[in-house]
Amino acid sequence: MSTRLVVDPVTRIEGHLRIEAQMDGNRIQSAYSSGTMVRGIETIVRGRDPRDAWAFVQRICGVCTLVHGLAGVRAVEDALDYPIPPNAELIRNLMVAAQYVHDHVMHFYHLHALDWVDVVSALSADPKATSELAQSISRHSKSSPGYFADVQQKLKGFVESGQLGIFANGYWGHPAYRLPPEANLMAVAHYLEALAWQREVAQLHAIFGGKNPHPNLVVGGVPCAISIDSGNQSGTAVDMVGLERVRSLIAEMHAFVEQVYLPDTVAIAGFYKDWFQMGEGVGNFMCYGDFPANGFGDRSSYLVPGGVILDRNLSDIREVDLNAEGEIQEFVSRSWYAYGGGKDAGLHPYAGETDFDYTGPEPPYQQLDVDGQYSWLKSPRWRGRPVEVGPLARVLMLYATGHERTRELADATLASLDLPLDALYSTMGRTAARALETQIMVEAMDGWFDRLLANIRGGDLRTFNETLWDPSTWPSTARGVGHLEAPRGALGHWIVIEDGRTANYQAVVPSTWNAGPRDAGGQPGPYEAALQGHDLADVDQPLEILRTVHSFDPCIACAVHLTDPDGEEVLRIRAR
């Protein structure tokens, strides 16, 4: 019998995501991904000072805090051909990498882990055996039997209070949970440790950006002047004390990733090896590239190269051109927007247009019309094809282009699990790739920090280029794209500047690539493709859906947006 399964809200994500699945018994026949919230930030940015845009678009997302702001800054810099000093590039690299480390660890423990970890089962663990398990996989210092006994005691008190709070109504005892009690207890302990750890390491953003979430940025460099000669008088946060703190924060990040996050991921994955066989998605992957060693304009100096992989073919990397009209396009045939050129057209972001055209059911509703329009997300396509972006795409790209450290890490990890490279094309492969790239990032941070210090020692304190700050120096029209490898994947912001104001603004973000609905040709987006064919042990407790959706690390506030280049809001509400 064919029935519709609805998961809304999908929790432990950023934003408002709804999954509807057409079921054939316990098997997902087809899945539909819907973003259910819209704000209209790109419309709000229009007409404003392009130098201000970053602050507005940074608020696209507070989890991906920083990255949208930086994409907005880079878009203006690209439009104006505005170079920035090497120190600013290094500080940006450090801030983006710190964002990866913070975000990926929190994703694993606080958003994704409970798909694999049964919190209640941890109550029956033997603390001594848990200690042995922990010590067998890592030299992390918090691993004594007494430590785990304490965590277990606290958890016991919490559960016995009868007030389960954030753990209420979890699918505890679900047959798809497969970790032994000791692994569950270890993961619960690290869930709590990671909460405390993330609070510390977020300080790196505060030093350079004044606060986290939502650190400050500036077009033309970074806002934090380096304050070396201020003596004992407070200059800026980026003084020798601040820089020493950055060094120790990088060390804290490094230790936690290497000793806790990566070993936990591999240990947990070992109990769920069947999840390396399902949840692939579309088999196409895209990166824009990022982390320059020699200026953002020199794409060959990027740590992560740009490119597209089609149909798993790692030996043929296609180039991606963010300015080419026929490459990146957004479609709205299944989204709640209208295009002047008709529902089936695809538009490049420079020419992007979006008018609200809600054709869904009037709330409150039970089901969406999945044969019609069903999402506030558009469907971005590269040369007409759906592509996956994010950690898996980057690890594949690094692997395919021969990045030695990636190959070493990926090969060793897969060998320890006795799995082939193809196992990466899966739900658990995506989760493992995220951990692997976090390790690569913490290692890269050391190098960028050393170069920053060397520059400062050599007397180069420049962090900002003033030459094009004044809009009167700009051409009357200009356009540019700011791209980034954000933690969740390839991110692009396109800006059109006219007479010193923002004439058009368009963001195409990672979760739109991954979570977007079908296109005019009926091709599903990566979430939808990945969920297809999943067998659910219990349709009333669709844990398997959460596993695969969470493996992408959804960020739905990011994914929904709109532009309205004609300045006319066409608003049609049709209740069905």
Partner 1 sequence: MTTERTLGGFLRHRGVSRRAFLKFCSAMASMMALPASSVTALAEALEQARRPSVIWLSFQECTGCTEALTRSNAPSIEGLIFDFISLDYHHTLQAASGAAAEAAREEAMHENDGQYLLLVDGSIPSVKAYSTIAGISNLDMLKEGAAGAAAIIAIGTCAAYGGLPKADPNPTGAMSVEEIVKDRPIVNIPGCPPLPLAITGLIAHYLAMGVMPELDRLGRPLAFYGENIHDRCYRRPFYDRGLFAETFDDEGARRGWCLYKLGCKAPETYNACAQIKWNQGTSFPIQSGHGCIGCSEPNFWDKGGIYDSVAMGQFGSGPKIAVAASLGAVAGAGAAVLARGKKHKTETELDSDD
Q: Is 488 a catalytic residue?
A: yes
Provide the token pair at 114: 């409970």
Residue 39 or 299 with smaller CB distance to partner 1: 39
Q: Is 287 a catalytic residue?
A: no
Q: Please report whether residue 493 would count as binding partner 1 according to CB under 8 A.
A: no
The upper half-sphere exposure of residue 416, i.e. CA atoms within 13 Å in the direction of its Cβ, equals: 16
Give which of 13, 136, 2, 1 is closest to 545, Cα–Cα. Answer: 13
Residue 158 or 271 with smaller CB distance to partner 1: 158
Q: Please report whether residue 464 would count as binding partner 1 according to CB under 8 A.
A: yes
Among 157, 458, 459, 522, binds partner 1 (CB under 8 A): 157
3-state secondary structure of 212: coil
Among 1, 2, 141, 165, binds partner 1 (CB under 8 A): 165
Kindly identify the residues of this chain, within the stretch 234-273, that bind partner 1 according to CB under 8 A.
234-238, 242, 245
Q: Please report whether residue 225 would count as binding partner 1 according to CB under 8 A.
A: yes
CA distance 153 to 126: 12
- The distance of closest approach from Cβ of residue 227 to partner 1 in the complex, given in angstroms and rounded to an integer, is 5
Q: Please report whether residue 208 would count as binding partner 1 according to CB under 8 A.
A: yes
Q: Please report whether residue 322 would count as binding partner 1 according to CB under 8 A.
A: no
Q: Please report whether residue 459 would count as binding partner 1 according to CB under 8 A.
A: no
Provide the token pair at 360: 């869904």
- Axis crossing angle, helix 127-137 with helix 145-160, rounded to the nearest 10: 130
Question: Counting beta carbons within 10 angstroms of the beta carbon of residue 510, is it exposed (0 to 12), middle (13 to 18) or buried (19 or more)?
Answer: buried
Kindly identify the residues of this chain, within the stretch 30-49, that bind partner 1 according to CB under 8 A.
36-41, 43-44, 48-49
Give which of 408, 401, 91, 457 is closest to 246, Cα–Cα. Answer: 91
Q: Please report whether residue 466 would count as binding partner 1 according to CB under 8 A.
A: yes
Kindly identify the residues of this chain, within the stretch 50-69, that bind partner 1 according to CB under 8 A.
51-52, 55-56, 59-63, 65
The residues, any chain, with a CB within 8 Å of residue 347's CB and separated by 6 or more, are 329, 330, 339, 341, 353
Residue 1 or 168 with smaller CB distance to partner 1: 168
Q: What is the dihedral of CA 342, 512, 281, 93, to 10 degrees?
A: 140
| DSSP assignment string, 443-468 | HHHHHHHHHHHHHHHTT----B--TT
Kindly identify the residues of this chain, within the stretch 74-133, that bind partner 1 according to CB under 8 A.
106, 110-111, 114, 119
Catalytic residue among 16, 18, 64, 388: 64
Residue type, 243: L
Size of the site for partner 1 (CB under 8 A): 119
- The distance of closest approach from Cβ of residue 210 to partner 1 in the complex, given in angstroms and rounded to an integer, is 3
Among 274, 319, 362, 450, binds partner 1 (CB under 8 A): 362
Q: Please report whether residue 230 would count as binding partner 1 according to CB under 8 A.
A: yes
Among 171, 275, 288, 339, binds partner 1 (CB under 8 A): 171
Q: Please report whether residue 487 would count as binding partner 1 according to CB under 8 A.
A: no
- The distance of closest approach from Cβ of residue 115 to partner 1 in the complex, given in angstroms and rounded to an integer, is 9
CB 508 within 8 A of CB 575: no
Q: What is the dihedral of CA 556, 559, 565, 571, to 10 degrees?
A: -40
CA distance 121 to 269: 18
Q: Which window, 200-208, 324-332, 486-494, 520-528, contacts partner 1 (CB under 8 A)?
A: 200-208
CA distance 449 to 122: 40
Among 1, 141, 196, 472, binds partner 1 (CB under 8 A): 196
Q: Which residues are catalytic?
A: 14, 61, 64, 68, 488, 511, 555, 558
